[in-house]
Amino acid sequence: MTTLLHGTAHFQEYERESVVTIGVFDGVHRGHQQIISECVAESRRRGNASVVLTFDMNPRRVVSGDRPCVLTDRERKLALVRGLGVEYAIEIMFTSRFASLEPEEFCEDILAGHLGAKQVCVGANFRFGRDKRGDVETLSKLGGRFGYGVDVIPLVRIGGRTVSSTLVRGLIREGRMEEVSEGLGRKYSIRGKVVRGHARGKSLGFPTANVELERHFCVPAEGVYAGMAMVRDEKHVCAVNVGSNPTFGDGELALEAYILDFSEEIYGETLEVEFHHRLRDEVAFDSGDSLVRQMEMDVERARRLIGAG
């Protein structure tokens, strides 16, 4: 059971000492999983509480005004952290005041003071404090003063590249979903409410669920994908189109999922769509018949790839 706390000030009401890891952890990818798992393992060896210290938003929004797309919403991130056996997830509001903390202030007041940290687990590229002035060497040096040790966890590499949230975002934007899955250690998914669309799919014999896209989430490159749709806690194979329907000149980006062997009404419900494989680019067809023939091939390929046929 993971206890969620807002801010570090009241942690001492629960525990006196802790093993801590710190980060945004957007995506909770394989690199994050390795760091958090080591934090949990070390806490059990020591008999201290395991703590994931994370933020309510990506610090880049405050520090540079950049707004990177989001891989995991707050609920999903906490669920993934919980699944790794963490005892406490502490969410900090990342304000300009927090961003201005010097590395020494952060280590003395928050790590040693509020959290009673005895060990801190971070990745080899960890940076912290005002203007990212602190690194793992700074963290270790200050740990000697404030009574905690530091475990530096090696970065996870796949195919010669370091796994990072930035890498995963780039792969999603390129539609390279197999590599995304490898980096995340699971399939990438988007959740949203099913809304009414133009009903063209139904008229063509392929009724689709139109998923409302929230602008801050990472959306795969335009194209057609094979995946799975989670409907009412059950998974179904689906063929997914991400794009603007150039055949009909819609212009607005949409996500439409044709759920195989499913015919129930789900308007207004939340649908989660997993992206497994990219099948093809989105293209404009010269007729509805040409589009239907291609859709038939897409559906059969999705069924074959996902193993449901």
> 72-100: per-residue pLDDT in tens?
998 999 999 999 999 999 999 988 898 89
Q: Pick the catalytic residue from 234, 256, 272, 300.
A: 256
Q: Is the pLDDT of residue 62 over 70?
A: no
Q: For residue range 21-42, what is the model confidence (pLDDT) as tens digits?
A: 999 999 999 999 999 999 999 9
Q: What is the pLDDT of residue 249?
A: 46
Tally of residues, the chain:
309
Which among 116, 111, 137, 115 is positioned nearest to 126, based on CA atoms?
Answer: 137
Q: Identify the pLDDT of residue 190.
A: 93
How confident is the model over 36-54, as a mean pLDDT? 98
Residue with tokens 């540079």: 64
Task: Judge if pTM exceeds 0.85.
Answer: yes
Active site residue 256: yes
pLDDT of residue 68: 87
The pLDDT value recorded for residue 50 is 98
- Residues sharing a CB contact under 8 Å with residue 61, sequence separation 6 or more, in sequence order: 67, 94
Write the pLDDT tens digit of every residue in 203-255. Answer: 566 788 999 987 789 999 999 999 999 998 899 999 999 987 644 445 578 89
Residue 126's pLDDT band, with cuts at 50, 70 and 90, is: very high
Q: Could you tell me which residues are beta bridge partners of residue 272? A: 191, 230
φ, ψ of residue 34 to 5 degrees: the values are -65, -45
All structural domains of the chain: 3-158 (3.40.50.620), 187-306 (2.40.30.30)
Query: Which residue type, as a one-letter code, is found at position 28?
Result: V
Nearest CA to 224 among 201, 255, 198, 250?
Answer: 255
**Which amino acid makes up residue 286?**
D
In this predicted model, what pLDDT tens digit does every residue of 215-228 receive, in sequence order? 789 999 999 999 99
CB 24 within 8 A of CB 54: yes
